[in-house]
Structure 1
Amino acid sequence: MENGAVLWGGPGIDAAGIFLLVLTLCVFLLPAFLYFPPVPPSKSDALLQTHTRVGILSPQPAQQSHHRASGTAKVSSPSSKSPNIPATIRSLWIYPVKSCKGIEVSQSKVLPQGLEFDRLYTLAQLKSPFPIGLDASDAEKSGHKWEFITQRQYPLLATVQVDLYVPDIAKSRAQAFKSSDSFIVIHFPWRGEGFRGAIDWVSAKLARGWRALPEKEIVLPVTFPSQHEIDERGYDYEPVTIWRETVTALNMEADLPRELSLYLGADAGYQPVTGFQDAYPLHLLNLSSVQDLDTKIAKDDSLKVLDPRRFRANIIVDDIPAYDEETWKSVRLKPGPSSRRQASSFHVSCRTVRCKLPNVDPDSGFRHPVEPDKSLRKFREVDEGAKHKGCLGMQLTPLFDKTESSDDMESWLEVGMSVEIVDRGSHQYIVQ
């Protein structure tokens, strides 16, 4: 030591050397870190090893899906469309979990209860009979019932992503694992508190990219559980009310994570049964009708264009005048000459009477305070059976030539099919 300085022996390792060493490690380790992030695989990642995700997939589905490609934001004159040109199926949608995000598909099997995989589950909320009188019976005091919930009460349902995975034979062979079951995966934004939340945030970025946000997944079976599974999981059959109808469904609340209830702001369970549609199996929407209504709505920063997804239709058609669909009584949807599909027949049952659900933005879950409900009531009070209500779209019931077996009662729809109008007539909504 001389003049208070410390001398180090051995080869010279200074700050520059340490920096160079760290930089070298980063160059070699960063690619591996990015391609193989140190986070556990998600349930979706595991399913992709043996299954295929159903739906029209693209990096930006909002810009590239069929209904957007038709030019919703560019309103065309309804009178410019000839009624002699057949309507065309522009897009098809299924909604495996009622009121959550839909899945756009290019084709779908048609069953008596609607499109395959459509409205298999609904979220429901337990309602108790309060307030009740002091002289009420014990049965009345202890009574409760499940009521379905939608975006009308809980607009954040619009932000709950739903994916459908079906078995892939090629993948199963490669993995030497055979699976014949299909699954629904529900994703919703969720970040834990404190240090756990920071880990969730970092894990999401590493696993799915910089723009990804933390989320929670729930895996649900498509096939109805066996009695053994029902007993093992502790499920119960209970009545659930949808509007004025009550059906018996399987309560799978035991599998519902508390985080979903907290996210929605509701005490909820979910109950599966085939067919949780509001009234009829399928809902058809004419894109020209949406465009015409769009011209009548006062726009603001939160509603710049009327997205047809707000109306949650299964079938969206185009190439016909606005509201022409309201004169249909029965139709046949016919495939093109290159398709191997057969035509599908439908009874056009009634108009769709709209509630306030279309006020919810399907991307953000923001519920507009007045539109399009105000404009629907003002300009679309067109049905004698639905006074002071707005109507848009039509309800369909599938028709089958043979009904001897369940295999006979199947048909197919695909994007590009043309609509043959078999019969026209008037409609009057009948309140159920």
Structure 2
Amino acid sequence: MSEPNFVVSGLYVYPIKSCAGVSLPESLIVETGLEFDRAWMVVDDRGHFVSQRELPRMALIRPTLRHADMVLRAPGMLALHVAYDSVEAACTVRLWNEMVRAYDMGDLAAQWFSDFLGRPLRLVRYDPEHKRLSDAAWTDGREAENQFSDGFPYLVVSQSSVDELNRRLQARGQAPVSVERFRPNIVISGDLDPNAEDYFDELQIETPQGLVRLQMCKPCTRCNIPNVDPQTGATGHEPGDTLSLYRQDMRLNGAITFGMNAMLLQGLEHLLGIGARGRATLDF
């Protein structure tokens, strides 16, 4: 079987974990994934992270990345400017079962998030001196650094997978969904079979600085966040119900999966852009 060719058709970062993503024409590859991805996180008064799982209105918080700061907008709220080079007190926060070092972003940001989401919350930034690694059982023992992502520095989804899901949704009388529901970092398009990424070993992508190589690590298990409409924050049962009919993954004891988590093998500090061409090696 020939190695599939593809083009990078989408690049997304999610500066604040579980808030809206930012679609980018290009993004710098850094040690923890795409630059600014999950660099900030919202925590409750115990320091535990919160997400769209319990606060779906987080989907309506929309960041804009600028040269020196990030601007946050949400319905009914004045814009909040978050400087990249400004943090306040050091703190420790909980992400799932991990304790992670971070920096509090101050009372103004805390009040903004608390007012919009309706409970006491604070914004924190990842401490770059903290080294948080992906599960070595899925990385062949290699070190894959993350910031506040759920577990891996990259999530890759093919457009053909989304197209197949939409075909099934429409056959059941349901509305189609956009790729944004799945919060990918890299979307690839081309003459690819639906869910072809399940069987990819490496992505090898050409950039002006040279080759970027991504190792596919682990199928991405899915919770209820894809059931949150990223435009409205409304929750429903789709596409989760339809995915449950054909995406139970025996590699993960029947869990619902969609897309593949990945780690960097080569290409640190390269600039990855929309339209970059690549090929995939296969792993059956």
Q: TM-score, normalised by structure 2?
A: 0.85
CA shift for structure 1 position 255: 2.6
Larger CA deviation: 108-117 vs 372-381: 372-381
Q: Residues of 1 paired with 2:238 and 2:41: CA distance?
A: 25
**2:278 match:** 419
Which residue among 259, 266, 274 is the counterpart of 1:400?
266
Q: Per-residue displacement from partner, 1:74-94 (whole Å, max 9, x unpaired)?
A: xxxxxxxx9765111111111
**2:72 match:** 186
Q: Residues of 2 paired with 1:330 and 1:243: CA distance?
A: 28
Q: Residues of 2 paired with 1:317 and 1:288: CA distance?
A: 9
Which residue among 221, 235, 257 is the counterpart of 1:367?
235
Identity in percent: 23
Which residue among 382, 391, 399 is the counterpart of 2:257?
391
Is residue 15–residue 63 contact of structure 2 (8 Å, CA) maintained in 1? yes
Which residue among 346, 370, 381 is the counterpart of 2:248?
381
- With over 3 angstroms needed to count, the CA separation of the structure-2 counterparts of 1:300 and 1:165, relative to structure 1, is farther
Q: Secondary structure at the match of 2:230?
A: coil
Matches within 5 A, 1:45-124: 86-124=5-43
Larger fraction in helix: 1
**1:220 match:** 82
CA shift for structure 1 position 419: 2.3
Q: Secondary structure at the match of 1:397?
A: strand
- With over 3 angstroms needed to count, the CA separation of the structure-2 counterparts of 1:83 and 1:95, relative to structure 1, is farther
CA shift for structure 1 position 385: 2.1
CA shift for structure 1 position 243: 2.1
Q: Residues of 2 paired with 1:347 and 1:416: CA distance?
A: 20
Is residue 88–residue 318 contact of structure 1 (8 Å, CA) maintained in 2? yes
Q: Given residue 95 of structure 1, which amino acid in structure 2 is its aligned partner? A: Y
**2:162 match:** 290
Larger fraction in strand: 2
Matched, 1:410 2:272: no
Q: Per-residue displacement from partner, 1:69-112 (whole Å, max 9, x unpaired)?
A: xxxxxxxxxxxxx9765111111111111121211111111012
Q: Residues of 2 paired with 1:330 and 1:394: CA distance?
A: 11
Q: Per-residue displacement from partner, 1:116-146 (whole Å, max 9, x unpaired)?
A: 12111111112xxxxxxxxxxxxxxxxxx31
Q: Per-residue displacement from partner, 1:235-258 (whole Å, max 9, x unpaired)?
A: 2x2222222322111122423253
Is residue 291–residue 306 contact of structure 1 (8 Å, CA) maintained in 2? no
**2:211 match:** 343
Is residue 111–residue 398 contact of structure 1 (8 Å, CA) maintained in 2? no
CA shift for structure 1 position 293: 1.5
Q: Residues of 2 paired with 1:286 and 1:247: CA distance?
A: 31
The structure number with the bigger radius of gyration is 1
- With over 3 angstroms needed to count, the CA separation of the structure-2 counterparts of 1:360 and 1:341, relative to structure 1, is same
Matches within 5 A, 1:271-310: 271-273=124-126, 275-297=147-169, 304-310=175-181
Matched, 1:162 2:63: yes
Is residue 286–residue 323 contact of structure 1 (8 Å, CA) maintained in 2? yes
**2:52 match:** 151
Backbone CA RMSD of aligned residues: 2.2
Is residue 183–residue 222 contact of structure 1 (8 Å, CA) maintained in 2? yes
Q: Residues of 2 paired with 1:223 and 1:258: CA distance?
A: 20
- With over 3 angstroms needed to count, the CA separation of the structure-2 counterparts of 1:286 and 1:124, relative to structure 1, is same
Unaligned runs of 5+ in 2: 129-146
Is residue 334–residue 420 contact of structure 1 (8 Å, CA) maintained in 2? no
Q: Residues of 2 paired with 1:241 and 1:155: CA distance?
A: 20
Unaligned runs of 5+ in 1: 1-81, 127-144, 167-181, 191-214, 402-408, 427-432
- With over 3 angstroms needed to count, the CA separation of the structure-2 counterparts of 1:307 and 1:259, relative to structure 1, is same
Greater RCO (CA < 8 Å, at least 6 residues apart): 2
CA shift for structure 1 position 391: 0.5
Q: Residues of 2 paired with 1:259 and 1:410: CA distance?
A: 34
Matched, 1:250 2:96: no
Q: Given residue 189 of structure 1, which amino acid in structure 2 is its aligned partner? A: P
**2:202 match:** 330
- With over 3 angstroms needed to count, the CA separation of the structure-2 counterparts of 1:223 and 1:296, relative to structure 1, is same
